[in-house]
Structure 1
Amino acid sequence: MTTPTAQPLPATSRGGPMIHVQEDREPTLLVIGGGIAGASVAYFAARSGWAVTLLDAAEARASDVPAALLDPARGQSGRMDVRALEGLRLSWSLIRRLEARGHRIPHEHNGVLRPLASDLARAKFERHLPPELPHHWLTAARSPAPLAPGWPHLLLLPEGGWLAGAALVTALIAASRATVRRGRVATWDAHTATLAGGEVLSAEAVVWCGGSIGATWGGGTGLPTSGQTHRGGTLLLLDRAVTPLPVSSGVYLSPIIQENGQRGGVLGATFEAPAPQCNVGGPALRSLNWLLSRASALTGNLSSTVTGFWSGSRLSGERFGQQPGGWWALSGLGSKGFLLGPLLARELVAELSGHSSGPSGSPRPSSPDG
């Protein structure tokens, strides 16, 4: 594989509608941001023949969450993204493939339980659940997890589950064999990225995959921020799992597998008020009070011991595809990063590769498999 750091481009190639690449070498790609979006873009781009350099500050990444839920039914309305089932299955497929190649990704593909407090809430979910999504309606007496009273309807989504976010991101980057450069990116355009220290890197294409912290840093570079919001959340790390599978209703409880191989648990939610920029820190007392009160209403069993906490900030307001400045973007996926990030990254790389051609003008093929 050739070195991913590209050479300067002729001025005539900048801003053109097609990326011209010599047939005897790989096209070069700069990916800005090393969360689930950037890691997925790097992975699929490498499989499609790109030499990738990943630029990542490795600070305040929401994708480093200890337990990310793969839950196709997000929120309390019962609405589902039309791509949710496809994204869900691709994410599990990626985990299987990466583990088969020796990467360790703690996860459990054992379903997600969604307790619902009323007949009206069940009716909302029934209206929006696609028939092709496997699901089961249970009564409280048949619950696979200990719940507090007051949950007459339980929706079990057997294709859901949880995964260790940082482990999947690390595996995707390692499998891509991307050159990783640590540092903040100050500015970028269609073919270059300038690090905070002044070093300029160039490539045939640039994909911005910054999350909440990256969008905050990029606010002074002309990065469009309209329609995007930042929302913080916290997970309490527990010495043991409260439930045998993820349970989600406003807050979520999930098992985790700790670094020492022992089983633990988490209690968390993305619950802070939406903000115009990233503000990562420890949770306020009022936030902890809200989190614990919601957990008490959900399970009634809070005998686990808190061993630590994790806080992060998510960026919402999806940005996908080529931007007016010629650079590309995959960002703003909010709580759906692990559900839709790999799927959208595969689609973006296919579109990006369609813009890459040799001297003959024929598009370079992209890998059709996941």
Structure 2
Amino acid sequence: MRIMQKQIKLINRPKGTPTKDDFKMISGPIESASDGEVVVKTVYISVDPYLRGRMNDTKSYIPPFALNEMITSGVIGQVIQSNSSLFDKGDVVLGALPWQEYSVVKENAVRKIDHQMAPASAYLSVLGMTGLTAYFGLLDIGKPKEGETVVVSGAAGAVGSIVGQIAKLKGAHVVGIAGSEEKVKYLIDELRFDAAINYKTQNVAQALREACPNGIDVYFENVGGEISDAIFPLLNNFARIPVCGAISSYNNEQADVGPRVQGYLIKTSSLMQGFTVGNYSARFGEGAKELATWLKEGKLKYEETITEGFDHTIDAFLDLFNGANLGKAIVKVADIE
């Protein structure tokens, strides 16, 4: 008798905000490992806003998910069977794996992590793709200097919270934009941002003028939409704008329309550059080492919103679009043994 497991497939291209009807939980067999393969028990699943874009059948920097196939994202797992000389049973690994309870993967599809140095889940957050996104986007494109003003949208999220802290380490005046009083308080009291704005209750343009009396030198873009519209009039000469995300428009059914940015960029000689963390794959070791050092020295803090249980994976993903998460959103599927 074959042992079965739970799996999650995408069955519809979402129109607007995804719903549970766009996904289907099924049962499938747990396979055995062939030569050069390992069986990995899923421990943590990363749920991320960029996954929404992969649900559309449009050209992007990464292929779309196929319908009636499993969704994949960052996964921390534990090897339960190994036919590879590179891994032993019990090793904790990281890889881009399907949303299912167990995966059979080739030995080069995962890498071993040291969960004694930091909690395993940290390799999906501060020491993983979100931490590296913050590190390279801010330092390579934003290039903050001491005394400059850095504004971060989505500032209490997985990327934004790390961006703001790195900017503080570089001596910048840091202003965060978030969507609740709890998050504003967290940014100021815990992460030591100089100011924080609740975009749901405050006039963002007015609040930015008050929080940025010397204008804006770096704007780390995670949100887009009306929040970004309020930024451009405050740009200083030679401002830098790393464009990481635009979550405000991910579920729009029509093209996003707003004020044109060209005039602001020309008048201030500003740089606006989109990027993905994959652009820096050759330098991941450099970024991970620096982030780990700051974490060990107590210079970086991070939060994770952990949802318990594989059955709640879809809920955790959908919660991203109503701002329910503080820091990185992660699903815990099992314990490390």
Q: Mark yes or no: TM-score above 0.5.
A: no
Comparing both structures, which one devotes a greater share of its residues to helix?
2
User: Which structure exhibits the higher relative contact order, with contacts defined as CA atoms closer than 8 Å and separated by 6 or more residues?
Assistant: 1
